[in-house]
Structure 1
Amino acid sequence: MTTPLLGQMMDVPLTVSSLIAHAARHFGDTEIVSRRIEGDVHRYTWRDCERRAKQLAQALIALGVQPGERVGTLAWNGYRHLEAYYGPTGFGAVCHTINPRLFPEQIAFIINHADDSYVLFDMTFAPLVDGLAPHCPKVRGWIALGDEACIAEHLSSMKTPVLSYETLLAAQDGEYTWPQLDERAASYLCYTSGTTGNPKGALYSHRSTVLHAYGASLPDAMGLSGRDAVLPVVPMFHVNAWGIPHATALTGAKLVFPGKDLDGKSLFELMEAERVTYSAGVPTVWLGLLNYVKEAGQRFSTLQRTVIGGSACPPAMLRTFEDVYNVEVIHAWGMTEMSPLGTLAKLTWEQSQRPPEAQRKLREKQGHVIYGVDMKIVGEDGRDLPWDGVAFGDLHVRGPWVIDRYFRKDDSPLINGWFPTGDVATIDRDGFLQITDRSKDVIKSGGEWISSIDIENVAIAHPAVAEAACIACSHPKWTERPLLVVVRRPDMNVARDELIAFYDGKVAKWWIPDDVAFVDELPHTATGKLQKLKLRELFRDYVLPSALAVDNCPLTDEETDKPRANPAPR
């Protein structure tokens, strides 16, 4: 066998520490601004961030943390959390971001499953930590992200002994050299939301993290630039804030952290004060922001672009941002198992020459893959389906920042080298992905599939609808039929028949919901997604009018022999 001719290039490992070192060396004076738990606004630079991250690394080493051990975080978006992204990973430990919005039982499971040695937490989570500590015996210490005075003021009622983050850092000089690590060593541990069963861990590597940062920063991806002031509304405990803390270090962008206050007024005021040009978050957060600016009669003076992901961006939201406020929306799709970026809706030169409405229709989809990700859709028989925008099937992906298996799971979920996402999708001739549903949420009616996402998007376009979800209800003839569950906008009204009629001409007639149920609020997961599982549970006894109309259908109460009434959501 012929020996391959190897290239003669430097073998420099791709490590997370190289990102923060690059930002500190080449963009050292660029600001990082944080609205703190203490109530004030904190300012420092990328250079300051690296020094304090080195102090944190020294402090953790002094506490006995070894390379490969996990260091957990329960924190909002802020500069100390950013230091926790780089300090542990810089010397070979693993930063494990924990979602504080999960149920306490799930959080305890995650901490124990990860074997976290120490957990860093924002002081707002003191009651949560007090409840968790007895159930997490392997945690050697809990570190409050504050100084001694602040801890004394805010944590005096805690039963769990805590260490002061600032005291630990003050004992170190920051004169530390990042060690050279294997780029395939673990860097971050992120767990899924756990909507069905216990959360599962995705263990990223230094290599995958750096490659993901490169991919995210491409002009036709998230398109981050050193000219941007970036406010990540997506939490740093949600898939590493979609890679923004790494991509901003790579590009030298200004970072603005919102802390715990994510209401529309707080976000708008921070955006304006810091002249934010770029942001990213889930649709539920943007709904609150858009409601605020509309009611307050405000306009964005500097915001130019925002990434919307986590769940499908309603076309009405995209149009409002762009047509009313002149803010470009970048529709994105990904998942925890993908670090998370997979696709973004950016147009090529040829696509940008098409009529405006054709361009808009493309950008309402989840978009094309970025380099580093490949995708395909397969049918029930496992065969590849055509990219014609019509055929839809199970979405599979692969790439260097896609997981091979879950943390501490011996079996791999891959099918012939591809990761099955659990999404049902179409891919059109332009290579644009459109998620039609989660496989467990698609409505199977008379042997055909109905996209719950498409049904929801039509409803949200109605001016009186604040939020909508579509779920399947059992049907004696069609197996399943769609039920639309709606939250009305404040001080606005809309009736069932008006909403049903609103679908005329917008979807196929057999897709139109059979009924509408109005509720005060919809259940959401810890990451802001609609919690369809909970919604199906709330409406599991709901009987559609069309089901009552089917002849010989046993839809009567045993005791009264009268048609069953639909229960109120519990």
Structure 2
Amino acid sequence: MTPPLSGQMMDVPLNLSSLLAHAARHHGDTEIVSRRIEGDIHRYTYKDCERRAKQLAEALIALRVAPGERVGTLAWNGYRHLEAYFGVTGFGAVCHTINPRLFPEQIAFIVNHADDRYVLFDTTFAALVDALAPQCPNVLGWIALADDGHLPDMRTPVLSYETLLGAQRGEFDWPVLDERSASNLCYTSGTTGHPKGALYTHRSQVLHAYAASLPDSMALSARDSVLPVVPMFHVNAWGIPHAAPLTGAKLVFPGKDLDGRSLYELMEAERVTYSAGVPTVWLGLLAYMRDAGARFSSLQRTVIGGSACPPAMQRTFEDEYGVQVIHAWGMTEMSPLGTLAKLNWEQSQRPPDARRALLEKQGRAICGVDMKIVGDDGRDLPWDGVAFGDLHVRGPWVIDRYFRQDGTPLVDGWFPTGDVATIDPDGFLHITDRSKDVIKSGGEWISSIDLENIAVAHPAVAEAACIACAHPRWTERPLIVVVLRPGATLTREELLAFYEGKVVKWWMPDDVAFVDALPHTATGKLQKLKLREQFRHHVLPTALDAGPDCPLTADVPRDSGAHG
């Protein structure tokens, strides 16, 4: 057999340093703006950023950090954190972003599991570092992201980031690295068991940055002023710190202040056109704008992911404020982008209601990600928008295995996401649940996310969660747990009546519970494990009368075998 003909192209490895080098050379005067921990607004350019990232690389090499070793960060979104993204990875070490919102015990586990040599931290986390340091004996040093004049008073000996950089010239030449060498380490939020590490490569992250920048993906542009609200410690801020220098976009970092007023004022001051974050953050922003009667003067687009975007929130952004919502789905194990809700030409010609129905789903897979849904028997299910199945994915920025785990989670080369979903004939993904959260009532599945979305569409509801409660006849039935808007009133009967005509009768929630607040994970997702524990003894009204004439059977297809 004749061997394939070799191409005659330059063999230039995909290194993350090339993204910042490109921005410094071709977008050198583009601003990076940060609200600092010190309280002021800091401004500099991509050219300045690369010089300081090189100084950081030189400083870490002087501290004897070797390629492949991990350097942790406990930091908000800011210019020094961005320098770490490139200064650490640029000479071959691994940038390990740590979520400071996790429990201290989980953070200590993560630092020790990663075997971080040094940890860079914002001074707001001084007390946390003092608590962590005795539990992390292998950390050689803790580096405060500050100058000598702003070092916090701590028990733990710390180094000054600015002093370390000041001792270096910044004339470092980025080395050419094996593109398959490790670049970044991110851990899952650890809602069940210990957090698990996803170890990315230079190749996977550069490809991910290109994919994120595509027009039908996150669509970053040199014309954008981008404010990532999603933290840089949460799956690399969804790739924005890599995609922004690739495209030459202006970056605006909010620091620690993520309340509605602070975000709005920074967006307006810096003429932000593009943002990204989880639904819980946007709840605060929209509440502030509603109360203040504020309007956006520049914001055009926002990516919402991390958990399902309620359709009511999407309608508010688009109908009341003229901001396009890009609904997205992904996960730590996917770097994280998987799908985004963008219409093709034919879909864009459909009636408004049909277009909106598509855009409220999680969207189509971007090039580089393949997906499928499988049944309990492992067989592929049809893309008909009806069949529910376990979602599996694969691609060049999807993990093969977890960090420091010998076994692989893959099933026949596919990663099982733990999500339950449908895929419609248009190829649009609709996440209906996490597999552990799906409500199985009488042998049929009920989507907790769909029931939550209906609840938050009620004008009196600020936030809602749906969990399963035990039922003597149906095994499980849905309970809606609701947080009301300030000053609003709502009864159980009024909310249940709001569901009428929106779902089939056997999907109707059996009860409503009102609470002051819902528990969230460190990444802003609803923490349903805690809710299930809180309501484990809750008795549903229908459970008290579950006789053979139970009215819940009224709307169930008689040939399904479910619900009697």
User: Could you say which residue in structure 2 is the equivalent of 1:24?
Assistant: 24
Are 1:138 and 2:134 counterparts? no
User: Could you say which residue in structure 1 is the equivalent of 2:343?
Assistant: 347
User: Could you say which residue in structure 2 is the equivalent of 1:383?
Assistant: 379
Aligned-partner SS, 2:496: helix
* Equivalent runs, 1:510-529 vs 2, <5 Å: 510-529=506-525
Instruction: Determine the C-alpha separation between the residues in 2 that align with 1:188 and 1:519.
Output: 39
User: Could you say which residue in structure 2 is the equivalent of 1:34?
Assistant: 34
Instruction: Determine the C-alpha separation between the residues in 1 that align with 2:484 and 2:259.
Output: 19
User: Could you say which residue in structure 2 is the equivalent of 1:333?
Assistant: 329
Instruction: Determine the C-alpha separation between the residues in 1 that align with 2:101 and 2:533.
Output: 20
What TM-score does the superposition give when structure 2 sets the normalisation length? 0.97
- Which of 304, 308, 319 matches 1:308? 304
Please give the per-residue CA displacement for 1:349-374, whole angstroms capped at 9, x wherever unaligned.
Answer: 00000001100000000000000000
Please give the per-residue CA displacement for 1:22-71, whole angstroms capped at 9, x wherever unaligned.
Answer: 01000000000000000000000000000000000000000000000000
User: Could you say which residue in structure 1 is the equivalent of 2:551?
Assistant: none
User: Could you say which residue in structure 2 is the equivalent of 1:563?
Assistant: none
Instruction: Determine the C-alpha separation between the residues in 2 that align with 1:195 and 1:510.
Output: 30
Please give the per-residue CA displacement for 1:500-529, whole angstroms capped at 9, x wherever unaligned.
Answer: 000001011100100000000000000000
Aligned-partner SS, 1:486: strand
- What residue identity is the alignment partner of 1:380? D
Instruction: Determine the C-alpha separation between the residues in 1 that align with 2:171 and 2:243.
Output: 25
Deviation at 1:3, TM superposition (A): 1.7
* Equivalent runs, 1:519-558 vs 2, <5 Å: 519-550=515-546
Are 1:217 and 2:213 counterparts? yes
User: Could you say which residue in structure 2 is the equivalent of 1:374?
Assistant: 370
Please give the per-residue CA displacement for 1:319-359, whole angstroms capped at 9, x wherever unaligned.
Answer: 00000000000000000000000000000000000001100
User: Could you say which residue in structure 1 is the equivalent of 2:192?
Assistant: 196
Are 1:265 and 2:261 counterparts? yes
Instruction: Determine the C-alpha separation between the residues in 1 that align with 2:503 and 2:423.
Output: 19
User: Could you say which residue in structure 1 is the equivalent of 2:404?
Assistant: 408
User: Could you say which residue in structure 2 is the equivalent of 1:559?
Assistant: none
Deviation at 1:551, TM superposition (A): 5.1
Please give the per-residue CA displacement for 1:174-207, whole angstroms capped at 9, x wherever unaligned.
Answer: 0110000000000000000000000000000000
Equivalent residues, number:
548
Instruction: Determine the C-alpha separation between the residues in 2 that align with 1:550 and 1:183.
Output: 61
Deviation at 1:549, TM superposition (A): 1.6
User: Could you say which residue in structure 2 is the equivalent of 1:52?
Assistant: 52
Please give the per-residue CA displacement for 1:421-479, whole angstroms capped at 9, x wherever unaligned.
Answer: 00000000000000000000000000000000000000000000000000000000000
User: Could you say which residue in structure 1 is the equivalent of 2:118?
Assistant: 118
Are 1:175 and 2:171 counterparts? yes
- What residue identity is the alignment partner of 2:253? F
Aligned-partner SS, 1:142: strand
Aligned-partner SS, 1:96: strand
User: Could you say which residue in structure 1 is the equivalent of 2:499?
Assistant: 503
Deviation at 1:534, TM superposition (A): 0.8
- What residue identity is the alignment partner of 2:399? I
Instruction: Determine the C-alpha separation between the residues in 2 that align with 1:548 and 1:165.
Output: 63
Instruction: Determine the C-alpha separation between the residues in 2 that align with 1:238 and 1:343.
Output: 18
Deviation at 1:4, TM superposition (A): 1.5
Instruction: Determine the C-alpha separation between the residues in 1 that align with 2:116 and 2:13.
Output: 26
Aligned-partner SS, 1:119: strand
- Which of 230, 242, 245 matches 1:246? 242
Deviation at 1:550, TM superposition (A): 2.7
User: Could you say which residue in structure 2 is the equivalent of 1:564?
Assistant: none
Deviation at 1:548, TM superposition (A): 1.4
- What residue identity is the alignment partner of 2:504? A
- What residue identity is the alignment partner of 1:471? I
Between the two proteins, what is the percent identity of the paired residues? Answer: 82
Aligned-partner SS, 1:24: helix
Aligned-partner SS, 2:124: helix
- Which of 354, 358, 361 matches 1:358? 354
- Which of 438, 441, 444 matches 1:442? 438
Instruction: Tell me how large the CA RMSD over aligned residues is.
Output: 0.7
Instruction: Determine the C-alpha separation between the residues in 1 that align with 2:359 and 2:139.
Output: 46
- What residue identity is the alignment partner of 1:297? G
